[in-house]
A = this chain, B = another copy of it.
Amino acid sequence: MQLSCSVPKFEFDVITMGHGSGGLLTHRLLQSGVFDILKNDMLDQQHDGAVFELSGKLAFTTDSYVIHPVFFKGGNIGELAVNGTVNDLAMCGAIPRYLSLSFILEEGLKTTTLGKIIQSIKLAADKAEVQIVTGDTKVVEQGKGDKIFINTSGIGTLHPQAQIHHNRIASEDAIIISNSIANHGIAIMSQREGLEFETDIVSDTRPLNHIVNKLLDDFGADIKFLRDATRGGVASVLNEVAEITGLGIEIEQAVLPVEPQVEGACEMLGFDPLYVANEGVFIVVVKKEIAEKVVSVLQNDQATKKASLIGFVNSQTPKKVLLKSKIGGRRVVNYLTGEQLPRIC
């Protein structure tokens, strides 16, 4: 699939407070660079909301994106905002359909920056096969925001075979990770002021809905639980699962997929990859009997080719996540404490 989209050309060079007035400047900003790029029947109505017909079980999710820097290795806040919300819907077992898009712009933002972000939003939406159907634009004074914050909310229709729920997780279930971890966090970190270092590591931001859809097509209700390991990393997701189910989890360090370069950067910075944010990696919990098959389907897809069975659920260590280290010892993996990587998404 070859997607393309031109960069919008705004009639203004920088964003001013007037672009958030709801009056003429807001209108001209949207007309010149937003509506023509994101164009579709529903958005063209320019009403207070979009109206469409959908039936059955729906999923609904929201996320605000405040990532810093706005442009990073492997992506920018625009595609991140689309992919992140698409992925949250996919994790519910839903097929993403419609997104909303809401900007909080800082006065003084260059419209060339905004244009590139809108172009990325359009390309990411096309790639994920979702439509942006409604939106909002606000402007805050210089020093009261940080270039651009984006909220995307999304609606999806549940895959007919999906039965994703934490209460379906049972002892002996297998825990699969979809790809190698910690790339996103390390890519962002390498660009932060005071920390810059040379690296080829890029963010793993990507839409996961197509591969999740394939898993649900192939395995249906045998896919018990899905969760993307974003902020807080794999460790936080596993702790949430342990806490809400009351069960224990044990994973094995030796089979955790981490790229050597990422592992090196983590060592240098003193980070444990289990706590570093991802954008295109998810945890799948399945019956252990089908674990190998699920891993093999994942490994056949470019987005998840490093998929690995990393451990199992148990009833012996309730609410605890344990890691069996490479040298055979076991340690508790807690929630991320403090703030390792602020504004990572």
Q: Is the CB of B62 within 8 A of A102?
A: yes
Assess whether A153 is interfacial by the CB under 8 Å rule.
yes
Contact B140 A66 (CB under 8 A): yes
Report B-chain residues with C-beta under 8 Å of the C-beta of A277.
22
Within A321-345, the residues touching B (CB, 8 Å) are 334-343
Which of A2-10, A230-238, A284-292 participates in binding chain B?
A: A230-238
A151 to B65, CA, bound (A): 11
A112 within 8 A of B: no
| Shortest Cβ distance from A230 into B: residue | B22
Contact of A103 among B64, B153, B342 (CB under 8 A): B64
User: Which bucket holds chain A's interface residue count?
Assistant: 35 or more
User: Quick one: which of A37-56 are within 8 Å of B by CB?
Assistant: 45-56
A50 partner residues in chain B, CB cutoff 8 A: 59-61
The docked-state distance in angstroms from the alpha carbon of A227 to that of B158 is: 32
Tell whether A176 is near chain B: CB-to-CB under 8 Å: no
A337 touches B24 (CB 8 A): yes
Complex contacts, A244 vs chain B, CB 8 Å: 46
The answer to whether A20 and B92 touch (CB under 8 A), given A51-B57, A55-B55, A62-B135, is: no
Interface pair B343/A20, CB less than 8 Å apart? yes
Given contacts A24-B336, A25-B337, contact A51 B158 (CB under 8 A): yes
A143 within 8 A of B: yes
Across the interface, do B54 and A54 meet the contact criterion of CB distance under 8 Å?
yes
Asked if A211 is an interface residue, CB under 8 A from chain B, the answer is no
B145 touches A94 (CB 8 A): no
State whether the Cβ of A228 lies closer than 8 Å to any Cβ in chain B: yes
CA distance A31 to B138 in the complex (A): 30
A146 close to chain B: CB less than 8 A = yes
Query: Is A166's CB within 8 Å of the partner chain B?
Result: yes
Return the CB mask of A100-114 against B: 1 if under 8 Å, else 0: 111110000000000
Chain B residues with CB below 8 A from A48, complex form: 61, 87-89, 91-92, 227-228
Known: A20-B342, A45-B166, A54-B54. 20 other contacts (CB 8 A): A16-B339, A17-B342, A18-B338, A22-B230, A26-B232, A27-B240, A47-B91, A48-B91, A49-B89, A49-B156, A51-B59, A52-B58, A54-B55, A64-B103, A66-B138, A102-B151, A104-B149, A141-B343, A144-B145, A151-B151
Q: What 6 A-B pairs have minimum CB-CB distances, sorted nearest first?
A: A22-B231, A23-B336, A49-B61, A22-B232, A62-B100, A153-B153
